[in-house]
């Protein structure tokens, strides 16, 4: 086990449901930033998931607030549209009693030509502990992390990574199926434009899952199999024996319909219907990061069926973001109520 910069790894009792991949858990994250899953060790992922599991309990209480981050400030810097991620970070900050500053490019001095770095440096001059950023350009969170003292959290950078989405997906899988290791996870959709697929591949393979990715040839990233996954254009084959069926959004705003004949044609070949879902295991769960295109990548009756955990993913997103904010802001493990 490798030594860490800011925290040692030690064996500690796993609070997660039985069957969790590893009983070795880190006691801190190594970096001041969460920029992606690629750089995380499996032990750090386990720490984040275990912390999120504890944080879920705060959301189940009548008074959903603990003073764990009282006096800390988080800037939410959103340059791209978001519903789930943005409101989930804001909810996490409120439940942990952190102060939030919410920035949207529209209506800011970005419209007068201020650069990204100048904007970030001016906000940093107000002494935030953490900056959460979503940006349409891959690598922007990494650029800010190199240039700012505050910790930076990647809330989605172009088609690169969306680490908190992969963590909330993993928490949802672990809670529903009791483990991640050994599961067959089929991820299907617009892989070429998806940051969610990249973060999920990194996370699921590090945690011991078998991942099969599926897309039409025009939406299949070249060399994706080098990430340690099976790649296929045959949706029925991808679904065969799957424990988890993860559908991804057709990113119509990025590709239009130029990469497949029509939305109707896409649904016929790659849309998840009840009949198709029968190829997966009987207890398989259906996931989607949202926003969904009903009738394009997923049939409405499947999205709303008892097999669907799509809204659980959203609820688990708050707990995951609480865990990320807490671990980065404090630098130590959450010990439950005595830390609040």
Q: Which residues bind ligand CP (CB under 6 A)?
A: 82-86, 156, 165, 289-291
Cβ proximity to ligand CP: between 32 and 162 the closer is: 162
Angle at the Cα of 303 (from 298 to 306), degrees rounded to 5?
140
Shortest separation between residue 137's beta carbon and ligand CP, angstroms: 16
Please name which of 69, 73, 82 lies closest in space to residue 133, comparing C-alpha atoms: 82
Cβ proximity to ligand CP: between 82 and 205 the closer is: 82
- Per the CB < 8 A criterion, the answer to whether 169 and 313 are in contact is yes
Under 8 Å CB-to-CB from 62, ≥6 apart: which residues? Answer: none
Under 8 Å CB-to-CB from 16, ≥6 apart: which residues? Answer: 46, 49, 50, 53, 174
Cβ proximity to ligand CP: between 117 and 252 the closer is: 252
Cβ proximity to ligand CP: between 156 and 221 the closer is: 156
Shortest separation between residue 76's beta carbon and ligand CP, angstroms: 11
Cβ proximity to ligand CP: between 86 and 193 the closer is: 86
Shortest separation between residue 156's beta carbon and ligand CP, angstroms: 6
Shortest separation between residue 252's beta carbon and ligand CP, angstroms: 14
Cβ proximity to ligand CP: between 46 and 166 the closer is: 166
Cβ proximity to ligand CP: between 128 and 156 the closer is: 156
Shortest separation between residue 33's beta carbon and ligand CP, angstroms: 19
Shortest separation between residue 253's beta carbon and ligand CP, angstroms: 11
Tokens of 229: 């996954």
- Residue of minimal CB distance from ligand CP? 85
Cis peptide bond prior to 240, omega within 30° of 0: no
| DSSP per position, 209-271 | -EEEEE--GGGSPTTGGGGT-EEES-HHHHHTT-SEEEE----HHHHTTTTSS-HHHHHHHH-
How far is it, in rounded angstroms, from Cα 187 to Cα 214? 6
Please name which of 331, 315, 44, 332 lies closest in space to residue 168, comparing C-alpha atoms: 315
The sign of the CA dihedral 26, 31, 35, 36 is negative
Shortest separation between residue 128's beta carbon and ligand CP, angstroms: 20
How far is it, in rounded angstroms, from Cα 199 to Cα 190? 14
Cβ proximity to ligand CP: between 25 and 76 the closer is: 76
How far is it, in rounded angstroms, from Cα 316 to Cα 311? 9
Buried b (16+ CB within 10 A) or exposed e, 212-240: bbbbbeebbbeebeebebebbeebeebbe
Shortest separation between residue 134's beta carbon and ligand CP, angstroms: 7
């Amino acid at each position: 086990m490798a030594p860490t910069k800011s925290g040692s790894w030690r064996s500690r009792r796993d609070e997660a449901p039985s069957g969790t991949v590893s009983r070795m858990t880190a006691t801190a994250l190594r970096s001041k930033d969460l920029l992606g899953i690629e750089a995380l060790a499996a032990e750090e992922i386990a720490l984040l998931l275990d912390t999120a599991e504890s944080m879920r309990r705060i959301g189940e209480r009548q008074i959903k607030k603990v003073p764990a981050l009282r006096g800390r400030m988080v800037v939410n810097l959103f340059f791209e549209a978001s519903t789930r991620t943005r409101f989930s970070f804001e909810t996490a900050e409120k439940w942990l009693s952190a102060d939030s500053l919410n920035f949207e490019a529209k209506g800011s001095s970005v419209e007068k030509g201020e650069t990204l770095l100048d904007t970030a440096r001016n906000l940093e001059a107000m002494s935030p502990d953490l900056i959460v950023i979503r940006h349409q350009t891959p690598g922007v969170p990494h650029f800010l992390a190199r240039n700012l003292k505050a910790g930076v959290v990647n809330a989605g950078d172009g088609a690169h990574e969306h680490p908190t989405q992969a963590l909330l997906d993993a928490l949802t899988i672990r809670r529903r199926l009791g483990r991640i290791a050994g599961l067959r996870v089929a991820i299907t959709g617009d892989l070429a434009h998806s940051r969610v697929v990249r973060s999920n591949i990194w996370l699921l393979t590090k945690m011991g899952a078998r991942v099969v990715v599926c897309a039409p040839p025009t939406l299949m990233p070249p060399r994706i199999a080098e990430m340690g996954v099976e790649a296929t254009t045959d949706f029925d084959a991808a679904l065969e024996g799957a424990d988890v069926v993860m559908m991804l959004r057709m990113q119509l705003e990025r590709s239009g319909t130029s990469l497949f004949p029509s939305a109707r044609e896409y649904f016929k070949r790659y849309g998840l219907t009840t009949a198709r879902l029968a190829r997966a295991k009987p207890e398989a769960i259906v996931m989607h990061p949202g926003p969904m295109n009903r009738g394009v990548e997923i049939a409405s009756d499947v999205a709303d069926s008892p097999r669907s955990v799509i809204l659980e993913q959203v609820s688990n997103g708050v707990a995951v973001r609480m865990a990320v904010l807490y671990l980065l802001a404090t630098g130590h493990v959450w010990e439950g109520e005595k830390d609040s």
